[in-house]
Amino acid sequence: MNVTQTRCPVHSIDHHSAEFAERRHDIFAELRRDAPIAMSDCYGGFYIAASYKLGRHILRDDEHFSVSRFEDGTGGLLIPAVMKSPKLRPGELDGAEHLAYRKALHDRFKPTTVKMLQPFVQRIVDETLDAVISKRQFDAMHDLAAVIPARVVLEYLGVPRDSQVSVLEGLALGFRAAPDTAEATDDTDQFRAVWRDLLEVIAEKRRSPGDDVMSTLVRSDLNLTDEQLLSVVMNVALGGTVTTTSWMSYAMMFLEQHRDLRARLIENPDDVAPFGEELLRWFSPASSLARNVIQDTEVGDVPLKQGDRVYVAITSLNRDDDVFEDAGTFDIDRERKQHMAFGVGAHFCLGVHLARLEFRIFIQSLLSRLPDYSIDVVRSEHNQSAGVTPRWLKLPASTNLGESP
Ligand code: HEM
């Protein structure tokens, strides 16, 4: 990438570093003030869009920006590109091809369909809470936040119970490692092993389709190859687990540290929805989205050349004072404006309605059944790389409401 011709300031911002995780809100506040389009010289050089206005513009401008992964493995949703992992569909497709996949999936994720999933989601939430209550000591991340979205999405997709654990391990590996490390390389190989396991599941769906998303795809007139179908499964499974798990774990920690808000939500369960939306704005589980410049253009007076990479900093867009009054303050009663946590434009989150349903049912059920839960904040652990998905790794927790051990 040509970093010399630019009119914007160059910084060494490494969004995978611990320092960035620590200081990201300050870094972005400076960028929004001084350079809404800046440049980082890390990972071969990339532009950073920090303001709501410019970030939103880029995500909606399909003529100049693409999310595609190229044949050589570059491009795609992440910086640096995950060269070896398979291309995600629909997430890393553009144009008409992207639209065809969205149409094939639409009926399974539209609001009226998702509304009917309420009993299914409630059952999974109840079973998961049952297991925790009987233990009294538990890990709110591993035993709750990581379990519910995974079971919901994998069962909805049609992944059999005995394959779910290996699929989840594969997904977790894909997101665990820092880029450019030996660990990341090994992980990608393991990711491919999961891919192979899933091919067997697909073969079974082709033999006897059922009432699940994979079977819908098998029947669709897209005539997908196994490889294409699996890349959809991985995209939906990835999109549906990491972010939703992160959202739920942040909610539990937030309600640990803000007991007055917890009391309010227990008293008024309808306030769980605005709480969830404000939390999304506040911490942005999908904290960045990368794009490739496919045609020369100019954004915020900065010329961008074909082949350049852009990091749209969702975290920063969601804290932009030009859009959200007093954006640094957490306020569930604030005037509702479209936050960018689910993206915008053609790639707007496919699973938005399902994510909201899961979150609402989970938090309402948690506060109804375990209103006293407490988290050991000191022993809790957070991931180091907040540039893609900030998330809690460990949340040691307890309740006094279960049966005596
Ligand atoms: C808190 C929860 C979630 C957040 C914050 C989130 C965030 C996002 C964002 C920001 C995008 C846009 C990506 C882009 O523009 O490149 C996206 C796309 C997507 N999400 Fe979600 N998501 C969540 C939950 C889910 C769930 C529950 C599912 C599925 C069950 C899902 C499936 C997808 C898929 C398949 C895409 C790709 C859509 C496309 O490219 O057309 N997401 N998500």
90 lines ligand 1 (CB under 6 A): yes
**29: how many CB neighbours lie within 10 A of its CB?**
17
- Is the shortest distance between the CB of 355 and ligand 1 below 6 Å? yes
**Nearest partner of 369 among 400, 405, 341, 329, judged by Cα:** 400
Strands (E), 248-356: 289-293, 297-299, 302-304, 309-312
Whether the Cβ atoms of residue 214 and residue 229 lie closer than 8 Å to each other: yes
Segment 169-197, tens digit of pLDDT = 776 665 554 444 444 445 566 667 777 78
Count Cβ neighbours within 10 Å for each residue of 196-212 and write b for 16 or more, e otherwise: eebeebbeebeeeeeeb
Residue 237 CA, ligand 1 centroid: distance in Å: 10
Peptide bond into 179 cis (omega under 30): no
pLDDT for 83: 61
Residue from 88, 102, 243 to probe ligand 1 pocket by mutation (most atoms less than 8 Å from CB): 243
Other C-beta atoms lying within 10 Å of the C-beta of residue 389 = 17
CA pseudo-torsion sign 300, 52, 149, 114: negative
Using an 8 Å Cβ cutoff, are 382 and 393 in contact? yes
CB 11 within 8 A of CB 39: yes
Region for 41 from its dihedrals, namely left if φ exceeds 0, alpha if ψ lies in -120 to 50, beta otherwise: alpha
Query: Tens digits of per-residue pLDDT, 35-67?
Result: 889 999 888 899 999 999 999 999 999 999 999
CA 240 to centroid of ligand 1, rounded, Å: 7
Q: What is each CA distance from 20 to 13, 14, 54, 142, 224, in whole angstroms? A: 7, 7, 22, 26, 41
C-beta of 351 in contact with ligand 1 (< 6 A): yes
Residue 133 Cα, ligand 1 centroid: separation in angstroms? 31
- Report the DSSP pairing between strands 137-139 and 289-293: unpaired
Indicate which residue's Cα is closest to atom 19 of ligand 1: 349
**SS3 call for 395:** coil
Q: Which is it for the CA torsion 258, 285, 128, 359, positive or negative?
A: positive
The finding on whether 341 has its CB within 6 A of some atom of ligand 1 is yes
pLDDT digit of tens for each residue in the chain (405 aa)?
A: 444 344 567 778 888 888 888 899 999 999 999 888 999 988 889 999 999 999 999 999 999 999 988 777 778 888 887 766 678 899 999 999 999 999 999 999 999 999 999 999 999 999 999 999 888 899 999 999 999 999 999 999 999 888 887 777 776 665 554 444 444 445 566 667 777 788 889 999 999 999 999 999 999 999 999 989 988 998 999 899 989 999 999 999 999 999 999 999 999 999 999 999 999 999 999 999 999 999 999 999 899 999 999 999 999 999 999 999 999 999 999 999 999 999 999 999 999 999 999 999 999 999 999 999 999 999 999 987 766 778 899 999 999 876 544
Using left for φ > 0, alpha for ψ between -120 and 50, and beta otherwise, residue 44 falls in: left
For ligand 1, atom 41, name the residue with the nearest CA.
Answer: 347
Mapped onto helix, strand or coil, the DSSP state of residue 263 is helix
Q: Which of 349, 361, 362, 363 to mutate to test the pocket of ligand 1 (most atoms within 8 A of CB)?
A: 349
Q: Is 76 in the pocket of ligand 1 (CB under 6 A)?
A: no
> How far, in Å, from the CA of 284 to the mean position of ligand 1?
12
Token pair 């506060």 in the structure block, residue = 367
